A and B are shown apart, each in its own frame.
Chain A
Amino acid sequence: GDSVTQTEGLVTLTEGLPVMLNCTYQTIYSNPFLFWYVHYLNESPRLLLKSSTDNKRTEHQGFHATLHKSSSSFHLQKSSAQLSDSALYYCALSASFSKLVFGQGTSLSVVP
């Protein structure tokens, strides 16, 4: 079945350093949608980025990601981490059914 893998459970970064959160996926479906959701403590998860176009960079709120079907990846990046970026980040896949399959989540902690 469809699956999403986020290899880092916890990432701790110093403010100002670049962010990269890894996401790979598995599906037999040729046209998946990939998503990044951000979940701040005591709030609802909300959409950060979304893409279904191969090799096209998508950006929002300083974050960016590129879907690479050749490597089944959709890594999240930001050039400079801010304290306010501390949150739980989920990568998710929508493939052959109308449901999202989420990765395990990566908790990002940005410290001064």
Chain B
Amino acid sequence: EAAVTQSPRNKVTVTGGNVTLSCRQTNSHNYMYWYRQDTGHGLRLIHYSYGAGNLQIGDVPDGYKATRTTQEDFFLLLELASPSQTSLYFCASSDGHGSDYTFGSGTRLLVI
């Protein structure tokens, strides 16, 4: 079954630490996205990609890098984690404009 798989499910790191969140999709979708979910703000787009090697900046990109190594794999990197990046992170994939998303199960990140 086509899916979006995120790892890890939970992560705790210290301020200034280095974190990589992973996402793999088996939907054969061109587009992949990273969102963060925060109460009162909803889902906010960090970065997205429309294919291997491509990266587009989202609405809240500060403090985040991303890399799309293959059509299946999209990584979110926090090189100097800060407490403000404590959040629930979702990865998603889609076919593009007008298509709905398939979401992963989320990664809960705590920066202490």
Contact = CB atoms under 8 A, between A and B. Distances in A.
Interface of A: 6, 9, 33, 35, 37, 43-47, 50, 52, 90, 92, 94, 97-105
B1 to A, nearest CB: 13
Given A35-B100, A45-B43, A99 B90 contact: no
Interface string B31-54: 101010000111111001010000
The 5 nearest A-B residue pairs measured at CB:
A98-B96, A44-B103, A102-B43, A104-B42, A47-B100
Contacts of B99: 94, 98
B41 A104 contact: yes
Interface in B66-112: 90, 94, 96-101, 103-106
Contacts of A90: 42-43
B101 A100 contact: yes
B107 to A, nearest CB: 12
Contact of B40 (A43, A100, A102, A104): A104
Contacts of B61: none
Interface of B: 4, 31, 33, 35, 40-45, 48, 50, 56, 58, 90, 94, 96-101, 103-106
A105 B36 CA distance: 13
11 contacts: A33-B97, A33-B98, A43-B105, A45-B101, A47-B101, A52-B98, A94-B99, A98-B99, A99-B56, A102-B42, A105-B43
Contacts of A97: 97
A45 B36 CA distance: 12
Contact of B44 (A33, A47, A102): A102
B91 to A, nearest CB: 10
A37 B107 CA distance: 19
Given A45-B90, A99-B45, A9 B40 contact: yes
